[in-house]
Amino acid sequence: MTHIKTIRVMILLLMALPFKRLKVVSTDYKIELLPQHECDTYSVAGTCHQTPQDPKIKIAKHKEPTALADTVLHELLHACWTTMNLDGREEEERAVSALATALIAVMRDNPKFSRWLLKQCNIK
Ligand SMILES: [Zn+2]
């Protein structure tokens, strides 16, 4: 493992995220720390970069486990929205169906993430 990879894993563990990638249907998203200056500048707790060359979800440090889970799920749903080719004119039923399908795929394909999410919500 390179130094940079080791450092990335350490940062993610410090953030209490035990996964560094999420497979979102057909796309692998890198998970990274959102730097504090970006949180302050854009008033966000997370971002989802959707470029096909470098799909990436960035998450800020959080104090509360459920707030962290909320932000991760929020950005993950943006990733699902893109992966399922939804756009701003979607009809509600079609959008909800596509997101449910994508979310099931994500939970099945990312067992570490699924276990982590349940733990954040205090579900054993
Ligand atoms: Zn959003």
CA of 30 relative to ligand 1 center, distance in Å? 17
CA of 7 relative to ligand 1 center, distance in Å? 27
CA of 70 relative to ligand 1 center, distance in Å? 11
Report the range of poorest mean pLDDT among 15-19, 105-109, 115-119. 15-19
CA of 97 relative to ligand 1 center, distance in Å? 19
Of 30, 19, 28, 20, whose CA–CA distance to 115 is shortest?
Answer: 19
Q: How far is CA 84 from the centre of its chain?
A: 15
Q: What band does 31 get if pLDDT is binned at 50, 70 and 90?
A: very high
- CA 101/CA 117 separation, integer angstroms: 18
- Describe the strand order of the beta sheet including 56-59 as a list of residue ranges: 21-24, 27-33, 56-59, 46-49
Which residues lie below 8 Å from residue 58, measured CB to CB, with a gap of 6+? 31, 32, 33, 34, 38, 46, 47, 48, 49, 75
CA of 64 relative to ligand 1 center, distance in Å? 19
Is residue 35 predicted with pLDDT exceeding 80? yes
Is residue 15 predicted with pLDDT exceeding 80? no
CA of 27 relative to ligand 1 center, distance in Å? 19
Is residue 121 predicted with pLDDT exceeding 90? no
pLDDT of residue 14: 67
CA of 98 relative to ligand 1 center, distance in Å? 17
CA of 118 relative to ligand 1 center, distance in Å? 22
Report the range of poorest mean pLDDT among 16-20, 58-62, 74-78. 16-20
CA of 75 relative to ligand 1 center, distance in Å? 6
The verdict on pTM exceeding 0.85 is yes
Average pLDDT for the chain: 91
